[in-house]
A and B are shown apart, each in its own frame.
Chain A
Amino acid sequence: QSALTQPPSASGSPGQSVTISCTGTSSDVGGYDYVSWYQQHPGKAPKLMIFEVTKRPSGVPDRFSGSKSGNTASLTVSGLQADDEADYFCSSYAGIELPYVFGTGTTVTVL
């Protein structure tokens, strides 16, 4: 399986929304409801923001939301804040042969 495709960058002003796409195939994103999203600030450990397409772990603000349509999953960050400026990447379960694939990553800039 190939990496999931994400746009290299996305941006928005404080208070606005930004949506990041994650496109795979019917063998990964489209085939399972096991898409997750991660936020990573420079030099820090990745942080789980969304799991199983739409669920938020405890402590993650509801400004972060996930969805999926066909082979494309999306992460929306509403009410952008300065601290949301980070790299975001998606991941999907992809079956027994290669269980996990990752997205190419998106850098979000808060203007």
Chain B
Amino acid sequence: QLHLQESGPGLVKPSETLSLTCSVSGGSISSGGYYWDWVRQAPGKGLEWIGNIDYSGQTQYNPSLKSRATISMDTSKSQFSLRLTSVTAADTSIFYCARHGGPGAGIPRAFDFWGRGTMVAVS
């Protein structure tokens, strides 16, 4: 069973950079057919997709973040990471990492595994 766990500081100062890591166990992040995603939820708000990375290192991002987000992968550690620059109070959220199936036979086109989330406050 795949397991994802987010880690990182719970408090970041305004204008600084938020850095989070997602550790993946029970499966390989190098296998094709999947995207590794970051999703966030601000207090009292809905979920917002931040971006993802695939096994080859190709990334996609939510245009609303205006290039502040960078997602990277370290396959040797079975981890992928998020950096969000120039944070403001509006970035205060629970951040989730998740796996999403891509085009491929038998792969659900959905977020099939999620971490429990980590709360990050900007203050």
Contacts and interface: CB of A to CB of B under 8 A. Distances in A.
A83 interface: no
Given A99-B49, A99-B60, A102-B48, A45 B114 contact: yes
A105 B45 CA distance: 9
A105 B62 contact: no
B1 to A, nearest CB: 10
A104 B110 contact: no
Contacts, number: 65
B111 A104 contact: no
Given A100-B100, A102-B47, A45 B110 contact: no
Interface string B105-120: 0001111111111000
Interface size class of B (residues with CB under 8 A): 20 to 34
B63 interface: yes
Given A97-B63, A105-B46, A51 B116 contact: no
A103 B46 CA distance: 7
B60 A93 contact: no
Given A98-B49, A102-B47, A103-B46, A48 B100 contact: no
Interface of A: 3, 34, 36, 38, 43-48, 51-52, 55, 57, 89, 91, 93, 97-105
